[in-house]
Amino acid sequence: MCLINRDRARRKKKICEYVGLTPLRGRRSRRCPDRRHGWKTNSSAVIDNGDLIMASNVRKDITSQEQDVISLLRRAFPRKESAVSVLSHDECIELRDRLIAVESVEMPFYLAQVLEDLILYPPRRAGDSGNAEAVIQFLDVLAEGVDFGLIAPHYDGDELAWIKESEGIFREEKAECFSRFSSLQASAISRWLQIAHSWEGLSWYHKEIDNAIEYWKGREDGFA
């Protein structure tokens, strides 16, 4: 077991070096209990009798479809069963391009908070998404990855070998983590992606969103 843990730690370190991040470990002391549901969202909204109640600094035009997806995310990723932290809006923004650095066992519950936060604070303008596209790219499991033919002239043999190894580990780690998601979790992510497709701030990333929907819809139907 120790050797397995060391190997996983080495893989995580290599992934984080590859994407320029530091491994993140969950903070286990900030869950905020709620009398009705056992937990509270990222200080932005709560659901009472099926209705979304939002804080004053959150958008007021949230649709019934978006409310349904938030409810689905909460059912699929029940935070009361995990020991991860409740994230603030600023922390969700910071985590958008750092999800791969989170420990695999905790990542699904942080991911769900980031997805919910993006519904409450969607990117409004193309080219100014606040790294929301990084979440799409993270969920795009079928992405082709690095074009080694394109980058080869810019690196020597050792550097290319390191990039190839790191890219492989990166893709394997992400696929392995996602393979443990349930069909309900896959459904929640698939429906979230369909909403994200309508956001103007992600209009440059429709291909990646469509690819991600294909993967997660397949997982929902048991085909991926």
Which one is predicted more confidently, 73 or 26? 73
Q: For residue range 115-131, what is the model confidence (pLDDT) as tens digits?
A: 999 999 999 888 888 88
Cα separation, 94 vs 79, whole angstroms: 20
Instruction: Decide if pLDDT at 174 tops 50.
Output: yes
Map tokens 């029940």 to a residue: 78
User: Which two three-digit tokens encode residue 118?
Assistant: 């993006």
- Read off the DSSP letter of residue 24: B
Query: Are 199 and 123 spatial neighbours (Cβ–Cβ below 8 Å)?
Result: yes
Q: For residue range 62-115, what is the model confidence (pLDDT) as tens digits?
A: 899 999 999 999 999 987 655 567 889 999 999 998 888 888 888 898 999 999
Q: Where are the domains of the chain?
A: 2-221
What pLDDT score was predicted for residue 8? 54
